[in-house]
Structure 1
């Protein structure tokens, strides 16, 4: 029996696949579409997502092929009437190695993740649709198109806002679809526009957008967006891909039903404001992956506890940004301040915080223990000297958040209580 079936090969499903692959789990990732999707779609990668991609070994390619967001140039009557940025370009630091929002078309983000997955000997099974599943206490039996049936330990629905997995579970998707709030989104080529600016037509002072053209790095393509539009202005000379977007703001009523989990857009859909949706899905997968590898039931319960709270917060943020029309981006949208302070996994003064240090030492599927210790904790825990002024020991989870902060005498019980690791015998 394989460990996991991942349904959906967007950024969420691919992130989870890479995470499981590097841990040596046996899984399949299936995608009902016969071809990899086109379209820029989600294009903003937040600083916290870049930290995730650092750990997964893809951040260098993401940065090399992407770019920071260009300055905005606002037009009226053929004249430039305003120039500025969504946010100032920040310098990297030890605590924030990737401080800037990076523009990267979703198709390229997915390609980079697929290439990383291939390095572990796995690939997406295109044209493979999940058509049914049943679960019991021991596992999940999935039925794929053509009648193929296979048994898995767990199933993860990362199959988008119209998720078959969520529907088959009967999980509600509470929220609203605003049919009156539509946006035309397209990948286009445009006449005479430079690729160094994000060109906007409207009234910036009144936060009114007629349409915009955002250049996509490494291409001659612009992403065109126009609220309420059905036609393209004359400046657009070729349309490569287009879609009509309706504002959807919804969240699943449950993220876990037995051995089946929901992640990404299958669990929550956002307005595009603030660039939160894709990033939240990536971090769902990052939270879930190491817990699936451990396989402890109480630990797996913390996925829904932690990520439902985050999704609710981020939905509120993206909805507010949509309503205010604010283009400015700051710490609130970077997702660096998200934390799991109330989680059952969080112990001690710093429990649940993003650790925000020693990123090189964190890379890999292990826990990081900051302590002067003679106790052996096995291969799952990498030991590192404590930070200057540190009180007690700090155990950093594989996803970069502090799990335990306190006296070492309580650490073994913390680890074993969630089935996370079995400490080795103390060295003599």
Structure 2
């Protein structure tokens, strides 16, 4: 999917809530005023605007002004000699039926991948040199020169919707929060673009922080926000290690003329195995004999039968900003009713007539799924008190992050 379409989908979703993204707006400065506000100055076409908010989240990229103003270090390394121009473009002269790759140590690399359902292609190419022998900056002209040199074919590149330079640039913030200001996405961690790990990790950062901010703004204790850094810093480290290993494998394949970007696409790059088992928000009440999924795991999708014999897809049940209590087996019925009666209004419950293989459960079990799709609690079928205690702890602040 082209990046421009991803951004369009997010803007359209925001518009459904009456929120409009203000393009052409720059954060000039900000300060934390008092104990409960952040005040920011924004530069717009109409002049400078002052904005006051409860929290500020810096999602402003690898050169993040927010991170720099907070004084957060961004340690790592950059391999300037290994770089590609990347972007989403339209292409004439090729049928959109394959991922085309030209890999030559002398002529350079060009990879063109059609993006399904659109007229766009993603391109990755060795930047040609300018008149001074320096790599050209991203542009349609630079891409066309790279394509002409590497392919020798009448292929025309035009109408770019997004362009950037990809380097082996591996850096990570040492913390994700200072007071009421947070970092997410590339502002917190940068790494090679392989496998879209950056986009996926940034969205995961935002969702992890977003549901916690929502609870705190609705009255939960602010200490819940400490778990954002506790959970996401280890994932950032994993992402850096995984993307670097993949990028190096790709460069070795390309420079050897034996393969391309597919060398770095592994099961790990799907990110479906990421977990928060060590998090202070993960509680397992089943003991050592519980088996199956664990608190902190990503809740697997599955198609299951409910108690009426109707098919239910779990990803549809999870979808939305709510907690979901799953009861796997008829023995969970009483506990689900008790939690539904005493729990938060937006809690969704689902009683299932089976224990799907994806969950690996040996007995009827309660599984509480967080808004971000991770399992917060596993408990025996009748232990409604454990579920209500867990949900209550999020609201009264007795859950606090472990020392990172």
TM (normalized to structure 2)? 0.72
Whether 1:353 aligns to 2:300 is no
SS class of match (2:55):
strand
Q: Quick one: which of 261, 283, 287 aligns to 2:208?
A: 287
- Which one of the candidate residues 201, 215, 225 is aligned to 1:300? 225
More helix by proportion, 1 or 2? 2
Q: Which residue is 2:350 aligned to? A: 384
Change (3 A) 1:363 1:245: closer
Question: C-alpha displacement at 1:221, in angstroms?
Answer: 4.0
Q: How many residues matched?
A: 316
Residue-by-residue CA offset, 1:115-172 (whole Å, 9 max, x unaligned): 1211221110122221111114212122222442232111111111111111111111
2:374 aligned partner:
401
Structure 1: distance between partners of 2:235 and 2:214: 22
Distance 1:421 1:134, change over 3 A: closer
The one-character-per-residue Cα deviations of 1:214-258 (angstroms, maximum 9, x if unpaired) are 223344443332235444232342443454333211111111111
The residue aligned with 1:134 is 31
TM-score normalised by the chain length of structure 1: 0.68
Structure 2 counterparts to residues 129-208 of structure 1, below 5 A: 129-135=26-32, 136-145=34-43, 146-190=47-91, 192-202=93-103
What CA distance in whole angstroms lies between the structure 2 residues aligned with 1:134 and 1:390? 53
Deviations for 1:339-376, whole angstroms, at most 9, x for unmatched residues?
Answer: 10100000006210111131122122211112422242
The whole-number CA distance in structure 2 between the counterparts of 1:245 and 1:129 is 24
2:196 alignment partner, SS class: coil
Indicate the residue corresponding to 1:58 in structure 2.
none
SS in 2 for 1:275: helix
1:419 maps to 395
How far apart in 1 are the matches of 2:279 and 2:109?
43
User: More relative contact order in 1 or in 2 (CA 8 Å, sep 6+)?
Assistant: 1
1:268-287 residue pairs with structure 2 within 5 A? 268-287=189-208
Aligned residue in 1 for 2:8: 111
Distance 1:379 1:321, change over 3 A: same
For structure 1, the 5+ residue unaligned runs are 1-103, 423-428
1:259-312 per-position Cα deviation (integer Å, ceiling 9, x unaligned): 111111111111012221111101111111110001132211111111111111
Match of 1:327 among 262, 277, 281: 262
Whether the aligned pair in 2 keeps the contact of 1:187 and 1:239 (CA below 8 Å) is: no
How well do the aligned residues superpose, as a CA RMSD in angstroms?
2.5
Matches within 5 A, 1:245-256: 245-256=166-177
Q: Does 1:368 align with 2:324?
A: yes
8 Å CA contact retained: 2:275, 2:297 = yes
Q: Check whether the contact 1:200–1:209 (CA below 8 A) recurs between aligned residues.
A: no
Name the structure 1 match of 2:21: 124
- Taking the aligned partners of 1:368 and 1:395, their CA distance within structure 2 comes to 6
Instruction: Please list every run of 5 or more consecutive structure 2 residues that lacks an aligned counterpart in the other structure.
Output: 130-144, 251-260, 287-293, 302-313, 327-331, 356-361, 399-404
User: Separation in 2 of the partners of 1:341 and 1:272?
Assistant: 27
> Which residue of structure 1 aligns with residue 305 of structure 2?
none
Q: 1:381 to 1:219 in 2, by over 3 A?
A: closer
Task: Classify 1:409/1:244 alpha carbon distance in 2 versus 1 (closer, same or farther; 3 Å).
Answer: closer
Give yes or no for the alignment of 1:216 onto 2:115: yes
CA contact (8 A) 1:294 1:420 kept: no
